[in-house]
Amino acid sequence: MSLLDALAGAANASQPLPWLLTSGQPTLRHFEALRDAGVTAVIDLRDPMEPRPLDEPAELARLGIAYHAVPVRPGALDDATLGRIVALLREHAGQPTLLHCASANRVGGALLAYLILDQGMSEQDAVDAAMRVGLRSTELMDWGLTYARHGKGEG
């Protein structure tokens, strides 16, 4: 089973990089399939107070998948939060990883900075890629672009 096949049916499931999957909230079935496909880490951008279909940290621990929570809250978008996401993407680069939120809108905003700073994409190509994975918010787009324009966290 391919990485992307493991996310079949998840909202906005996408594979923007060979090792990176993005989506809205996966189900337990998706997480089990992701483990079987070789995913080693999940980066969750949802707020812990959002309603969820499962206890994601506990289920991922049971499955042997590393879990990282970096809550992204509209209206409270800052460099520290985006810096943590970019650092996690760098840490797991090349290893099968899932980056998700509820719908993939927040994923797209956060992914923008990584695509520009670490993948060398132009702003337009990064915006196009972010929109393909689920970005719909201009606030989130501006957050990622501003971070990248200031060269935050270049490594």
The mean pLDDT of the chain is 95
pLDDT digits (tens, 9 = 90+) for 48-70: 889 988 999 999 999 999 999 99
How high is the pLDDT of residue 153?
Answer: 57
Query: What length does the chain have?
Result: 155
Pick the CATH number of 3-104 from 1.10.3450.40, 3.40.470.10, 3.90.190.10, 3.40.50.300: 3.90.190.10
Query: Per-residue confidence at 154, pLDDT binned at 50, 70, 90?
Result: low
Residue 15: how many other CB atoms lie within 10 Å: 17
H or E segment to which residue 132 belongs: helix 123-133
Share of the chain above pLDDT 70, in %: 97
DSSP designation for 105: H
Residue ranges covered by each domain of the chain: 3-104
Alpha-carbon radius of gyration of the chain:
14
Q: What are residue 42's DSSP bridge partners?
A: 67, 98
Mean pLDDT of 76-92: 96
SS3 annotation, 16-73: EECCEEEECCCCHHHHHHHHHHCCCEEEECCCCCCCCCCCHHHHHHHHCCEEEECCCC
DSSP designation for 95: S
Cβ(130)–Cβ(141) below 8 Å = yes
